[in-house]
Every structure is written in C-alpha cells, then in structure tokens.
Structure 1
Amino acid sequence: MRGRQRVASRETIAVQDSKDENSASVRVPIAKPCWRRSLRHVLVASLSSFLYGYHVGVVNETLESISIDLGFTGNTLAEGLVVSICLGGAFIGSLFSGWIADGVGRRRSFQLCALPMIIGAIMSATAKSLWGMLLGRLFVGTGMGLGPPVAALYVAEVSPPAVRGTFGGLTQIATCLGLMAALFIGIPAKEIVGWWRICFWVSVIPAAILTIFMEICAESPYWLFKRGRTIEAEAEFEKLLGGLHVKPAMGELSKSDRGDESGGVKLSELLFGCHARVMFIGSALFALQQLSGINAVFYFSSAVFESFGVPSKMGNTCVGICNLFGSVVSMILMDKLGRKVLLLGSFLGMAVTMGLQVIAASSYASGFGAMYLSVGGMLLYVLSFALGAGPVPCLLMSEILPGKIRAKAMAICLAVHWVINFFVGLFFLRLLEQMGAQLLYSIFGSFCLLAVAFVKKYVLETKGKSLQEIEVALLALEAT
C-alpha cells in the first residue's frame, strides 16, 4: 500500500505543478499498462482453448481404430455421431455458459469447464461400446461449450486495450496447438492396438492443470465491479495492470451501470430488444464461420488426404502447421491492421481457395493436377481461416457486446455456432456422398463470399479501444 500512496503523491504533485504553470491544466500522460502482468493469467485461461482444439482433433486420426474396436466400422452415421455428439454437448454447455459465468465468476467457470472434460475423457478412454464412447464425448462437449465463451470474456476483461487483440490471438494459437497435439499423439493409433485410448487419457493432464492454476489467477475486475465488489475489483486491477492504472481503469468502469445485474437481463431483451442488432451481428458471424465448412476440414482431413493417396500423417501435419502459422501472423497483426481487415481478407481468401477445391473436383482437373489443387487448396484454406475467421469472431463479440449482457449474449451467439458445427460434423460425409465434392464445396465457397459482404456492412472496428469506448460507439450507431 505504501507504493500506491507514493504513486498517488507523485500524480498529485504533477497535477498541482501543471495547474500552477498553466491555468488550462495540461493532462499528464500515463504510460500504458505493462502487458506482462496479465499475460500469465491469459496463458492459464488459454488451456481451455487448448483442450477445445485437442478434443476437436482427437478423433481425426483415431476414428478408424475406434470404429474397429467398438464394432461400428463402415457405419458413416455412427462415425459422424462420434465426431459430432460432443458438439451437441457443447451446445448445452455454451447455452448455459453466460449464466454460469455471471453467477460464479470467470475463474470458477474455467474450473467447471475442466470437470466434465476430465470425466468425459475417462469415460471415452474406458469405453467398451459405441454408446459408452458417445456418452463420454457428450460429457467432454459440455466442457468444450463452456470454455470458449468464458475464455473470450476473460481475455477481453483482463487484457490492456493495446494488446487485447494479441492476447485474443493467443487463445486461437492454443486451439491450434491442441489440434496439432491431438494429430501427433494419434499417429500411432493405426499401428498400435488400443492406442486411441491413450489419446483420451492424455487430455486429462491439461484439464487438471487448468483446474489447479486457475485457483491462483485473477478474477475479472469487470465481473467483480458488476457484483458491487469494488474493493476486490481494484485489487484485481492492481494485479493485472499495476497500481498506477487502477484509478483510470476504475474510472472507465464507473461510466457503466454499477451493481449486480446477473439476473437483470431477460432473454426477450437480448433477442428482440435494444440489443437485437449486436446479437444479430454475433450470431450471423458465428453462423457464417461454420457454414464456410472449416470444421469439415478439421474433422475429416485424413479421409480427404487418403482419397488422393497422400499419407494422412503428412497431410494433417501440414494442416496443423498452416493453422498455427496463420494464427501467429493473425496475433501479430490483430492490433495493427484491426479486426475488420483481417476478417475481410480471411473470408475472401477462403472463398478463393474453396474455388480451387471445386476445380479439383471437376472434370477440368485430373491425376496429379487434381491432387495438387485439392490438397494445396485445403492447406491455403486453413491458412486463410487462421488469419481472421478463426480468431476474430470470439474476440470481436467479447468486445462489442455491452458489459450488462456480455456473458449471456456470448452464450447465445456461441450456441448458434455449436448447432451449425454439430450438423456440419454429422452430415458432411453423407452430403459428400450424395451431392459430390464439387457442389458441396461450391456451397461452402458461396457462404465465404456472403461473409465478406456481411463483415463489410455490419462489423465495427474495435482496435485499440477500451470496452467502454466500444460500447459508447455502438450506442451512437444505434441512435442513428
């Protein structure tokens, strides 16, 4: 406390001297908060994104072995269920994530998201039948649905404005690392009997680490302030930003309504009231992200590579590298170019590369030409996705949603994401058989172009702005 008193005295002296020299009172600039203070908290929170990526990718290399061991080989609907049942669980977890995050806080929500992931992973690893596997995946899915919205909220609320985009990119990198870890760990699954069970056991470790380390992380000052716990909010701001920045940060918060609003927002207000526009933007953006077909690539890339005679190990490694590289570049550019530019470039690149897939599936390409177009197009498609369409929507929604509705609105928007994700995972193989690759990829590409038009018309740039400044800007737009 002594340090904080000394800082306060310096500020008082500086302001007094300024008033003596100039009656207009020149404002003394304060250095930006040090990003290192909040980085360790963001890294722990990113473990939930790592787990999300891991459980999305864990069935890619292991699905064939699972189907043989559990007796549903050749049943494409059962295979689709193993992939997509966790997405049904994710829908449930996401739907309640806002109420949980507002009720028990962000830190406890992370711990609650890890618990079903641990239980579900153990159930999957010890499954003796298809139904045991589906039940385990359903449990895992509830944790997957709870984790991403809480992570987006937490990162937005504990990060300094100048690096909020960069820190938001860290969660996408964690997702990429989770996907890559699942793919690499799953490589021996086709050679070693029962190896797929090890792949599920491994996921228990990061889930346990998240549970333990979140206990020593900072709580969101925004959540504490909303609950009327002002002193605790100040203490968390000091931990995250440093003592010099506590008063300015609390001043920003004071511009918003104060008090416990955890139960003050009705569902009808979100869907049909004054927040309908921002809810529409969030839901549509997540819907377009999934209708672009990205998760069909992540779930079934092994089958696509093998259809062209490309070893799935090499192909999936390249997919993981492209995803990681694009995410790193996106993290670097997020606070330089801005969210909107990355989204536009990303969806446009996805449309072009999906066009390459369409050409590869047509009669104009054959043999090696078709292979290079399809495989190369897929890798460029993943790279384009990772540059914007992957990391930006979650971050953007956590920024543009007003503080009063942020957690609950995020839950509803991500529920839309999970519903579409579920049906893409469930029906992709069936649609590929019945419609053919050319028509299906054309539909995916059309949604990418629709996303470009949507982003250009509706998305607001949030680069470098505080959450309160963004909220004021959106209110001004609503008034026009």
Structure 2
Amino acid sequence: MQSVEVWSLLTSGKGLYHFAMRGRLVDPYKRVASREHISSYGKEENPASVRLPREKPSWQRSLRHVIVASISSFLYGYHLGVVNETLESMSMELGFRGNTIAEGLVVSTCLGGAFIGSLFSGWIADGVGRRRAFQLCALPMIIGASMSATTNGLWGMLLGRLFVGTGMGLGPPVAALYVAEVSPAAVRGTFGSITQIATCFGLMGSLFIGIPAKEIVGWWRICFWVSAIPAAILAFFMEFCAESPHWLHKRGRSNEAEAEFEKLLGGIHVKHAMSELLRSDRGDETDMVKLSELLYGRHFKVMFIGSTLFALQQLSGINAVFYFSSTVFKSFGVPSALANTCVGICNLVGSILAMIMMDKLGRKVLLLGSFLGMAVSMGLQVIAASSLASGSGAMYLSVGGMLMFVFTFSLGAGPVPSLLMSEILPGRIRAKAFAICLAVHWVINFFVGLLFLRLLEQIGAQLLYTIFGAFCLVAVIFVKKNVVETKGKSLQEIEIALLPQEAT
C-alpha cells in the first residue's frame, strides 16, 4: 500500500514538488568527493528520497550573481535607445540626414548583428560556459562602441553598430539562461524581472545622456564612448561570479556543480539540488542535439511556442516606440526630453510591478493582461490618428496611448517570454533552442526598425497601428491556448512534466 502511495505522489506534478520519501536522511553538509559518488544517488538512494530542506534557499546568495549578469541587459537597453536622441545630430554630421533608409540602417544594422550573435549564443554558452559567454559578449560591444564613437562616415557607423549588435545578441539569451539556472525556484520570476529592469535603466540612461546631443556638437560620440564602461565592468566582475551548476553537470563536472550550488543556495540545499539534476538526467549527450530534433522533432511544440511568443512580442510594435518615440512625439509638438522621460518612467514602473507580481500571479496571467492592454493602447493610437480626434485631443490620445503601451508591455510581454523559455526548454537543449527562438525575435526586430518610418510615410499611422493592435490580440489568443504556468516549480519539475507530453 505504501508503494502505491509513493508512486501516485511521484507521478503527480504536486507530488514531485512536495514529495520526500521516508528513507534514510542524508547529511546535507557532507561533500561529495567524486563524480562516481554523486552518481550513486541514483543507485544507493533514489534521487526522490533526498528530503527537501524545510527552509527555502536564501535569495541573497544568488542575487549578486544575477545583478552582474543583468549588466548585459543594461547594455542591451542602452544600445537599443542610444540612437533615439542622437540620430538627428549624428545624421547631420555624417551626411545622411533626411535619408530614411540610412537612418533605418543605423538602427537595423545593430539588430542584424544581434541576429548573428543570438544564433550562435547557444553553441557558445554550451561550449565555453555561461560566465565566459558573458565576457565574450562584452568584447564586441567595447570594440563596436569605440568604432561608432570615432567614425567620420556612415559605413564606419554601420560597422560599429554591427559589432555592438553581435554582443547584444549574445548577452540576453545567456542572461536568461544564467538567471534561470542560478536562481532559487521561489524567486526565479522575480530575478528574471531584474534583467528587464536593467534593460529599462539602460534605455533611460541612453535617453537621458542623449538629451544634450541636439545642443552640443559631437555629443553623440560621448554617448557611444560611455557604453564601453559597463561592458568592461561586466567582463571583469563575471570572473568572480558562479558558473551555472546545470552547465557544469552537463559537462561531467559534478564536483564543481555541487560547489557552485553550495555558493548559490547554501550547504543544506546542495543534496536536494543535485538530486533534482540527476532526476531529470536521461543520459542524453548535450553536444548531440540535432537541428532536426529542434525544428520538427519531439521538441517542436516548445520551440513553436517560444518562437511565436518572441515574434508576437516584436510584431506588437514595441521597439518602434523605443527607436522612434522622439520622432512621433515631435510631430505633436511634445519636447523629446519630456517624452522620453515619461517613456522611461512608464517602462521602469511597469517592470518593477512585474518583478513584484511575477511569482505571485504567474507568467501566463501577466502575459494575457499585458498583450490585452497593449491592444487597447494601440486602439487609442488609431483613434488619435483618425478624423474622430483633432488638435489637443489627438495629442492626448496619442501620447497617452503610447505611454500606456509601454507600461503594459513592461508588465508581461517584455520580461515573460525570455523567462518562460528558459524555464520550459529542457536542460539538454536549453541553450541552443533558446538561441534559435531568440533569432526569430531579432529578425522581426530588424525589419520593424528598418521599415517603421517608411511604413509610417506610406500607409499612415492609422493603418500601421491597427496592424500592431491586431498582432497584440492574436498574442492574447495564442497565450491563452498554448502557454503553461511555471511559477514556483523547479526547472527539473517543469522538464519532467513537459517531456512526456512532447514525446507523445
């Protein structure tokens, strides 16, 4: 009878989370001396028999590692927004003012580089580890920023933006993986939101530092020089951060994985964390992941969910707001400094609220509310661009709709997709699959940045915002039907729960 009860607990999602078999209690402070001894968890003791410690892991231990990793997200946000205020003075000095294609290329070349960086991020993160991947992402950002700051022509700017983009593409997926793998399950959503807040600070920093660009000749060069400082800080401090225990375990370095768990969670939680790694270990070889397995194999469903989420995130038009908000607000006579300050504050406040609610309401609820709010916001923009509104009414609707759009985006559509994908992707394919999903993000981002101003001229704001709003509504339907809730579950629990469904 007891074995039946044990089996029912093991095969239920709730049981996996709360179950601790009435077996021999393992000394939580005893260090494992070899990989063979660690492997004996599966032989001498069932991994599920390792008791879950009564106290939850302290979030303070892993917080400092997450903060260092979030510098890459700060740089991502900074380089997304750095051309917003500086584009006019830069184009005048470099000789391409009024050429919308050239202006779009300054934005989109960076995104093209990000596509390349994100495409290889999984292989780099799995090959050299998460810490070294962060350091590698900092290098092209330092080189590219220096090139952009010293160029005297359009081509030099484009080449510098291409270098910066490769670092931008490498950083966010590695940050999402790293934060998910070093954070305690109870605060993983909160810590995942820290990267979004860092992105907000990066955007706000670039907007504020760019304000004097229209007044001071050559100030835009300072804006690029400044970005090299946090990139250097990231490369330096990552040397002292913990490596991902999940990556170490996959590489056969289980002793080091245990030592990193002790650093991140505390000694009392090491045995349970290691037992969970072994419980999800099906003996697969990490380096043997085939592209066909990701694109149309048993992992197709989770890949489809991730790629579609990232595509809908970009097709909502959010980055058009970040890239060209100054241009849009200027058409209504709103000072760009005031407009960008309001955009930055809305983005930051929404991200802080998302951090607070992520592990309380859950990922799915935030996504649904976020995309629905964005659709309503685009509706306000459509009304503002129509004949139904004019004068100050159109201005208030447009500005209010854009600020509401940024706020609702930062509540869910911004931070959740990266966090969710780092949670639902199985450990064996996590880095490479995440890279492919994020590559979709950068392709869409590239074309939005390249074509937004031209489409605004050709089809008008009313139709363009209608299209963006329609994609937001499609996202609501998609999330409702396809996204699963992951709050409070360990990565191993999520993997064990999802893989049988994928296999069938």
TM-score by length of 2: 0.90
Paired AA for residue 190 in structure 1:
K
Q: Does 1:421 align with 2:445?
A: yes
8 Å contact kept, 2:378–2:468: yes
Identity fraction in percent: 82
Q: Does 1:354 align with 2:378?
A: yes
Correspondent of 2:354 among 320, 324, 330: 330
1:136 aligned residue: 160
Correspondent of 2:295 among 271, 287, 295: 271
Q: How does 1:27-426 map to 2 (within 5 A)?
A: 29-257=53-281, 261-426=285-450
- Structure 2: gaps (5+ residues): 1-25, 32-48
8 Å contact kept, 2:50–2:271: no
2: distance between equivalents of 1:33 and 1:262? 28
Q: How many residues align structurally?
A: 462
Find the residue that maps to 1:334 and give its secondary structure.
helix
Residue by residue over 1:271-301, the C-alpha shift from the partner in whole angstroms, topping out at 9 and shown as x without a partner, is 0100000000000000000000000000000
TM-superposed deviation, 1:478: 3.0
8 Å contact kept, 2:121–2:435: yes
2: distance between equivalents of 1:362 and 1:420? 27
1: distance between equivalents of 2:50 and 2:93? 74
Find the residue that maps to 2:61 and give its secondary structure.
helix
8 Å contact kept, 2:104–2:449: yes
TM-superposed deviation, 1:70: 0.2
8 Å contact kept, 2:77–2:200: yes
Q: Does 1:466 align with 2:485?
A: no
2:23 aligned residue: none
> In 2 relative to 1, CA 431–192 (structure 1 residues): closer, same or farther, beyond 3 Å?
same
2:473 aligned residue: 449
TM-superposed deviation, 1:474: 1.1
TM-superposed deviation, 1:204: 0.5
2: distance between equivalents of 1:437 and 1:6? 62
Paired AA for residue 367 in structure 1:
G
Paired AA for residue 241 in structure 1:
L
8 Å contact kept, 1:227–1:261: no
> In 2 relative to 1, CA 6–149 (structure 1 residues): closer, same or farther, beyond 3 Å?
closer
Find the residue that maps to 2:77 and give its secondary structure.
helix
2: distance between equivalents of 1:5 and 1:457? 44
8 Å contact kept, 1:52–1:144: yes
8 Å contact kept, 1:228–1:260: no
Paired AA for residue 194 in structure 1:
G
TM-superposed deviation, 1:262: 3.8
1: distance between equivalents of 2:50 and 2:119? 49
TM-superposed deviation, 1:477: 3.1
2:3 aligned residue: none
8 Å contact kept, 1:354–1:441: yes
TM-superposed deviation, 1:212: 0.2
> In 2 relative to 1, CA 142–479 (structure 1 residues): closer, same or farther, beyond 3 Å?
closer
2: distance between equivalents of 1:222 and 1:306? 49
8 Å contact kept, 1:226–1:258: no
2: distance between equivalents of 1:28 and 1:141? 43
Residue by residue over 1:21-67, the C-alpha shift from the partner in whole angstroms, topping out at 9 and shown as x without a partner, is xxxx9967521000000000000000000000000000000000100
Find the residue that maps to 1:296 and give its secondary structure.
helix
TM-superposed deviation, 1:240: 0.2
1: distance between equivalents of 2:464 and 2:158? 27
TM-superposed deviation, 1:7: 4.4
Residue by residue over 1:359-394, the C-alpha shift from the partner in whole angstroms, topping out at 9 and shown as x without a partner, is 000000000000000000000000000000000000
TM-score by length of 1: 0.94
8 Å contact kept, 2:53–2:269: no
- Structure 1: gaps (5+ residues): 10-24
TM-superposed deviation, 1:263: 1.9
